[in-house]
Structure 1
Amino acid sequence: MKLATIVHDGVEQGSIAVPEGYVTLAELNRGTGADWPTDVFGLIASGRLKELTAWYNEGGQERLAALPVIPAGQASPAPLYRHPRKIWGIGMNYTADASQLAALREEEPVSFMKPDTSIIGSGEDIVLPAQSERVTAEAELAIIIGRTCRNVSEDEALLAIAGFAAAIDTTAADIHARHMRYLTRAKSFDTFFTFGSELITPDEAGELMELQVETWHNGGLAHAAKLANMIFPPAYLIDFHSQVMTLLPGDVILTGTPGAAVLRSGDVVECRIQGLSPLRSGVR
């Protein structure tokens, strides 16, 4: 199942993606007499996403065909949600040489946090800050946490995932280059986190480690890698961070990038991941 947050008639609405467009969660409730939360964050926080996924897989997908659909052309993408409790980012998490993975995993992940004020949606512009002369953007797979978890093992970690989203993590690279301690500042400018409007559930994502993350820049493929080339895969990242702090439903973990693009005003950067619509931001 694929969820999305869309804007229709000026209102952000949680919805289920269907071939013709979107069935809102509010319309689903009206048509079936259910009482699902009507926004994506609320649905995740309620703990009922797995229940809705089961309904969808056990005949609900066919029932959606009888409900009113908002055509894709009449909806605009919005951020999946705007106020996650935590946004973790992971740095330097891919290697081009799979033979290096075992040695690299002897280290620990490089991680940082971003504020929710950095969030924008697909189609919104990244704004180049006046205090930076070198800004980069990176396509990433975002893990969406689906339940409260603390001290989980890698085996348990995958069960804590609500789904996956596309993301673009933007950095004031010259600020970070001046001093490694400036990383949080370099990552935190407004518009520096383009957050996909869609969430794909784990059962729909297919073989996780075969997913390919692609950074596109001005219409051309700049960087690409499969999750199999991650130094620290999703289950490890959840395990590792849950040993530090309690992870909550809706928390986001950005899993790193195969490569960054240097941005200039007028550019367009995209994140493309199989199963999700391209996530795109202009630059100004």
Structure 2
Amino acid sequence: MRLVTLAESGQGSAGIVTGDRVIPLTGVNESLGTTWPTTVLGLLRTGEAAALSGWLRERGGEVLSGIPSIPLEQAQLGPLYHGAVNVWGVGANFREKAANMAVVPPEMEPICFLKPASTMIGPGQAILLPDGAGRITAEAEIGLVIGRTCKHVSPEEAPHVIAGIVLTLDMTAQDVHARNPRFLGRSKSYDTFFSFGPELVGMDEIGDLDALDVQTVLNGSVRYRSCVSDMIYSPWLILSYFSRMMTLYPGDIIMTGTPGSVDIQEGDTAECRVGTLIPLRNPVVQERIRTIL
């Protein structure tokens, strides 16, 4: 199953991607009399995402063929969802990047950080460069989207608790972090410093996760790329690690590391590419300071 959010639908209705077309979930309900939650986060939090995926596997071609759809290339795709979800990341998880940084992550103890909900943006939305923050970088990563509430998950159980994967871009204020390693969390917490989307892709669409090629792209040029198999800590080990610390909830996202980061400036476009999935692209602009009361 592949899900997107249609920006032109007002509240952001979920859409099912099938081939080169998108079928709004509101249209599915209207045509078939079903009562699926019509937002991606609603599907996740009610546990209906897994049920919808199973329903589509069993009856997808039969039930969707006659429902009005939108060409994927014409669809306006918005943020998958907004809300109070946890976004976690790990650092220096690709072997080559860790070697270039001269970083040796502790055995069985990934370097981790948390990003606040205010960092979240979606495809096409602007990454804002904070005034006075100095050098800013962007890095492409695969994110694991939690599909059901869980804790103390083993690596073997991890594939069964996720709703799927999502492309992400993680931004960092490098000069802030360079002043003190303890400022890692602060350097990643500015507004718009986490982008994800444009689609949530179920594992039934992925096949071999280890074979996925992750690319950090700047202005259309691939700057870094590496396969998931080159990670120091596998995605399933990372999920298990976080689940031993805290309860994971539907919609939570765990980033799994990047093959490399690029400096970004106003006018740039940062991009995450993974295999044949829809790329995640965000323009970069200088923040115009305004007061919110």
Q: Which residue does 1:4 correspond to in 2?
A: 4
Q: What whole-Å deviation, never above 9, does each CA across 1:153-205 have from its counterpart, x for those lacking one?
A: 11111111110000100111110111111111111111111111201101111
Cα deviation for residue 121 of structure 1 reads 1.3
5 Å-filtered alignment, 1:268-279, equals 268-279=269-280
1:18 is matched with 18
Greater alpha carbon shift after TM alignment, 183-192 vs 15-24: 15-24
Structure 1 residue 93 displacement after superposition: 0.6
Residue equivalent to 2:178: 177
- Alignment match, 2:67: 67
Give the distance between the partners of 2:156 and 2:206, measured in 1 at CA. Answer: 18
Shift of 1:20: 4.1
- Equivalent residue, structure 2, for 1:162: 163
Please report the TM-score for the alignment, with normalisation by the length of structure 1: 0.94
Corresponding letter in the other structure for 2:40:
V
Q: Deviations over 1:111-134 (max 9, x none)?
A: 100011111111111111112110
Number of the residue aligned with 2:267: 266
User: What's the offset of the Cα at 1:73?
Assistant: 4.7
Secondary structure of 2:30's counterpart equals: helix
Displacement after TM superposition at 1:245 (Å): 0.4
Q: Which moved more, 1:71-80 or 1:50-59?
A: 71-80
Identity %: 42
Residue 29 of structure 1 corresponds to which residue in structure 2? 29
Name the SS for the 1:225 alignment partner.
Answer: strand
Number of corresponding residues: 280
Listed as ranges, the gaps of 5+ residues in structure 1 are 98-102
* Residue of structure 2 equivalent to 1:218: 219
Aligned to 2:290: none
SS in 1 for 2:142: strand
Cα distance change, pair 10–26 in 1 and its aligned pair in 2 (3 A): closer
Inter-partner Cα distance in structure 1 for 2:108 and 2:243: 17
Deviates more, 1:130-139 or 1:49-58: 49-58
- In structure 2, the partner of 1:100 is none
| Aligned 8 A contact 2:14 2:40 in 1 | yes
Q: Which whole-Å CA distance do the structure 1 matches of 2:5 and 2:64 have between them?
A: 17
Secondary structure of 1:154's counterpart equals coil
Distance in 2, matches of 1:231 and 1:263, equals 26
Closer/same/farther in 2, CA of residues 105 and 208 from structure 1, 3 Å limit: farther
CA contact (8 A) 1:89 1:111 kept: yes
Q: How many angstroms apart in 1 are the aligned matches of 2:257 and 2:225?
A: 12
Change (3 A) 1:61 1:173: farther
**Equivalent AA in structure 2 for residue 69 of structure 1:** S
SS of 1:155 mapped into structure 2: coil
- Take 2:192 and 2:245, find their aligned partners in 1: how far apart are those partners? 28
Question: After the TM superposition, which of the residue ranges 10-19 and 137-146 deviates more from structure 2?
Answer: 10-19
Is there any run of 5+ residues in structure 2 with no aligned partner, and where?
A: 98-103, 286-293
User: Could you tell me how far 1:238 is from its partner in structure 2?
Assistant: 1.2
Q: Are the equivalent residues in 1 in contact too, given 2:105–2:111 (CA < 8 A)?
A: no
Decide whether aligned partners of structure 1 residues 48 and 264 sit closer, same or farther in structure 2, where only a CA change above 3 A counts: same
Q: Is the 8 A contact 1:14 1:39 kept in 2?
A: yes
Instruction: Name the residue aligned to 2:49.
Output: 49
- Report if the CA contact (8 A) 1:84-1:252 is conserved: no
In 1, distance between residues paired with 2:173 and 2:105?
A: 26
Structure 1 runs (4+) greater than 6 angstroms displaced: none
Return the alpha-carbon distance in structure 2 between the equivalents of residues 9 and 155 of structure 1.
39
- The superposition leaves residues 125-160 of structure 1 with CA deviations (integer Å, 9 ceiling, x where unpaired) of 111111211000000001000111111111111111
In structure 2, how many angstroms separate the alpha carbons of the residues matched to 1:11 and 1:146?
Answer: 22
Please give the alpha-carbon distance, in whole angstroms, between the structure 2 residues aligned to 1:9 and 1:85: 22
Structure-1 residue corresponding to 2:201 = 200
